[in-house]
Amino acid sequence: MNAAFIRQNHTPVLELFFNGWSMDDRVAHALAGADDLLAVWDYTGFDLDLLPLLAGYREIRLTAWSLGVWSAAKYFENKEVAFADAVAVNGTLQPVSAEYGIAPDIFAGTAANWLEERARERFNLRLAGGRAELAAFPGSGRSAESQQNELNSLLHNIMDSPIPVNLFRLAVIGSRDRIFSPAAQRAAWQMTESRIVEIDSPHYPFALYPEVAELGKLG
């Protein structure tokens, strides 16, 4: 796991962003806002101690995207951190699931075929929403091998772990999501106490909502 401050002006509020699988800090650098922003990515392991980086803030607002949703819930499950808000975006707490996430065969097939350039291109098109939207997606500078290792690690960790405790107040669902289907997201979050709001966006919503704080204001 990696983390870096994208903005660090010692504001009283910290925006904590758990990125999606395969990403680095590029998506976070595309996010706007005035408050300090700490981005987390690469869930190959969960041994990084974030708590010293969270100290001293009056409020911490968590936004987790895609597989960052499960990863954030897993990471903070046994840690005492009081979030002023916690928003899940286009992800679920059961990400390897035909009913509540991504079907296991599709998840495993994505990992198995990831070293093929055409497979990566197809995935990024679905993630961005199409060729017209792809230009607004910052992408990632990580190697395909690193991304594949991360996805395999996530697959094993998700399958070997109980469903993490839900820490999210709000679940934001993109109605044009082609990675986590909107139907699976609805089914997953309807079993929780989280409030649900739907937006007209693909899996990558930050071209339309570049300020993560604005997502929390939707519900």
Q: What is the pLDDT of residue 16?
A: 98
For residues 28-42, give the mean pLDDT. 97
What CA–CA distance (Å, rounded) separates 170 from 189?
9
Q: What is the pLDDT of residue 45?
A: 93
User: Percent of the chain, pLDDT > 90?
Assistant: 96
Q: What is the pLDDT of residue 100?
A: 98
Which of 205 and 214 is assigned the larger pLDDT?
Answer: 205
Report CA torsion sign: 174, 176, 179, 181: positive
Sketch the domain layout of the chain as residue ranges: 2-216
Q: What is the pLDDT of residues 142-200, one digit of tens each?
A: 999 999 999 999 999 999 999 999 999 999 999 999 999 999 999 999 999 999 999 99
Label residue 199 exposed, middle or buried (CB < 10 Å: 0-12, 13-18, 19+): middle
Cβ density class 133-164: b for 16+ within 10 Å, e for less? bbeebbebebeeeebbbbbebbbebbeeeebb
For residues 39-68, give the mean pLDDT. 97
For residues 14-35, give the mean pLDDT. 97
Whole-structure pTM value: 0.97
Q: What is the pLDDT of residue 126?
A: 97
Q: What is the pLDDT of residue 213?
A: 87
For residues 119-131, give the mean pLDDT. 96
Domain covering 2-216 in this structure, CATH number: 3.40.50.1820
- Tell whether the model's pLDDT for residue 14 goes beyond 90: yes
- Tell whether the model's pLDDT for residue 73 goes beyond 90: yes
For residues 42-59, give the mean pLDDT. 96
Q: What is the pLDDT of residue 112?
A: 98
- SS3 state of residue 215: helix
For residues 98-116, give the mean pLDDT. 97
Label residue 82 exposed, middle or buried (CB < 10 Å: 0-12, 13-18, 19+): exposed
Q: What is the pLDDT of residue 219?
A: 83
